[in-house]
Chain A
Amino acid sequence: DSGVTQTPKHLITATGQRVTLRCSPRSGDLSVYWYQQSLDQGLQFLIQYYNGEERAKGNILERFSAQQFPDLHSELNLSSLELGDSALYFCASSVVSYNEQFFGPGTRLTVL
């Protein structure tokens, strides 16, 4: 158990819908990262937050957004969902940037 929790574990929804994925980092970790894992793209960095502020952005679609709240938990919002958004979404946390990241169990999103 990494100490990073993600909910829900599975999510099945339809095209055009909007979903919210939730992540709670390890106690004491200020940095939260979101990654997408798919068969065709592999593991891709989406976005990073540090102590409530956006720190870095990867290949994140405009339909996707995220935020980190004062209690340091983070949410990833995916809207206008397409079939190609089906993937495993991981959250990871670290004490500060550049340290090792600890990954949650992931949320498997299926868009039908």
Chain B
Amino acid sequence: AQSVTQLGSHVSVSEGALVLLRCNYSSSVPPYLFWYVQYPNQGLQLLLKYTSAATLVKGINGFEAEFKKSETSFHLTKPSAHMSDAAEYFCAVSLENQGGKLIFGQGTELSVKP
């Protein structure tokens, strides 16, 4: 069965520092991969998606993620953190043979220190 693991339930960085949020997936078939962000008391907003085109995917707000099949990873990065990036981030996988439902990781809460 497919699954998603996000390493670190809480990550804290200083403003201006590199953001790295880790996501590993397990799947027997090529997956579609997504990163979503959830701000307090809001719904989920799509940051970026991988759907078997370019392995380096650029998203909104300066975020990007690289699909590495050999490592079954899809880590999210941003070169320079802003205070407004503080939120919860979810990695998700979707399989073509399962109707498109999203299977989410447990989430990583990002804190940004001034």
Q: Which residues of A contact B (CB under 8 A)?
A: 2, 4, 31, 33, 35, 42-45, 48, 50, 55-56, 58, 90, 92, 94, 96-106
Contacts and interface: CB of A to CB of B under 8 A. Distances in A.
Given A98-B96, A100-B34, A90 B101 contact: no
Given A90-B44, A103-B43, A105-B43, A31 B104 contact: no
12 contacts: A2-B45, A4-B43, A31-B100, A33-B102, A43-B102, A45-B103, A50-B99, A55-B99, A98-B96, A99-B100, A103-B43, A105-B42
B43 A90 contact: yes
A4 B104 CA distance: 20
A94 B92 CA distance: 15
The main secondary structure of chain A at its interface with chain B is strand
Interface range on chain B (Cβ under 8 Å from partner): 20 to 34
A105 to B, nearest CB: 5
A102 B46 contact: yes
B104 to A, nearest CB: 4
Contacts of A33: 100-102
